[in-house]
Chain A
Amino acid sequence: MLLILLGELHMKLNWMRRQQLVGYMFIAPNMIGVSCFIIIPALFSIILAFTNWEFPRLSADFVGMTNFSRLFQDEVFYQSLKNTLIFLGSVPISVGLGFLVAIVLNKSVYLKNMLRTMFFLPYITTGIAIAFVWMLIFQPVDGPVNTLLKSMGIVHPPGWLSSTSSAIFVFDIIWIWFLLGYNVIIYLAALQEVPSELLEASKIDGARRMHTIRYIIWPLVSPSTLFLLMTGFITSIKQMGIFQAITDGGPGDSTTVLSLFIYKTAFRYYDMGYASAISVILLLIIIVITAIQWFAQKKWVHYS
Chain B
Amino acid sequence: MRKLILTVIMFLFALLMIYPFLWMISTSFKQPFEVFQYPFQWISDHPTLKYHENVWTGPASFVTYYLNSLKVSIISTVGAVFFAAVAAYGFSRIEFKGRETLFLIYLVAMMVPNQIIFVPKFILFNAMGIYNTHMALILPGVFTVLGVFMLRQFFIAVPKDISESAMLDGAGHMSIFLRIMLPMAKPSLATFAIIDFSWHWNDFENALIFLLDERLYTVSLGLQNFVLENSVDYNGMMAAATAGMIPMIIVFLFGQKFIVEGLASSAVKG
Contacts and interface: CB of A to CB of B under 8 A. Distances in A.
A180 B38 CA distance: 30
A142 B223 CA distance: 24
B118 A263 contact: yes
Nearest to B172: A22
Given A128-B244, A130-B245, A241-B205, A30 B87 contact: yes
Interface string B223-258: 110010000001001101110110011011000100
Identify which of A127, A227, A258 gathers the most chain B CB atoms within 10 Å of its CB.
Answer: A127
A49 to B, nearest CB: 9
Interface stretch (B8-16, B46-54, B158-166): B8-16
A238 B220 CA distance: 18
A133 B24 contact: yes
B66 interface: no
B267 A272 contact: no
B113 A267 contact: no
A83 interface: no
B8 to A, nearest CB: 9
Interface string B55-96: 000000000000000000000000000011011011100111
Contacts of A115: 7, 10-11, 14
Interface in A71-115: 101, 104-105, 108-111, 115
B121 interface: yes
A282 B113 contact: yes
Chain A contact surface mostly: helix
Contacts of B112: 38-39, 42, 283
Interface stretch (A164-172, A184-192, A210-218): A184-192
A120 B121 contact: no
Interface stretch (A152-160, A273-281, A296-304): A273-281
Contact of B86 (A26, A134, A151): A26
B43 interface: no
Interface residues of B, number: 95
Contacts of A118: 14-15, 17-18
Contacts of A110: 3-4, 7
Interface in B185-226: 198, 201-202, 204-205, 208-209, 219-220, 223-224
Given A31-B87, A128-B223, A132-B223, A241 B120 contact: no
Given A101-B13, A136-B237, A240 B223 contact: no
A22 B252 contact: no
Contacts of B99: 23
B6 A137 contact: no
A129 interface: yes
B252 A190 contact: no
A238 to B, nearest CB: 5
Contacts of B86: 26, 29-30
Interface in B14-30: 14-15, 17-18, 20-21, 23-24, 27
A283 B3 CA distance: 46
B150 interface: no
B102 A109 contact: no
Contacts of B156: none
B105 to A, nearest CB: 7
Contact of B89 (A26, A41, A280, A286): A26
Interface in B127-150: 139-140, 142-145, 148
Interface in A210-236: 224, 227, 231, 234
11 contacts: A30-B83, A30-B148, A31-B87, A37-B117, A130-B21, A133-B23, A139-B36, A143-B36, A151-B38, A177-B17, A241-B205
Interface of A: 19-20, 22-27, 29-31, 33-34, 36-42, 44-45, 48, 55, 101, 104-105, 108-111, 115-122, 124-130, 132-134, 136-137, 139, 141-144, 147, 151, 177, 180-182, 185-186, 188-190, 193, 224, 227, 231, 234, 237-238, 240-241, 244-245, 258-259, 262-263, 266-267, 272, 275-276, 279-280, 282-283, 286-287, 290
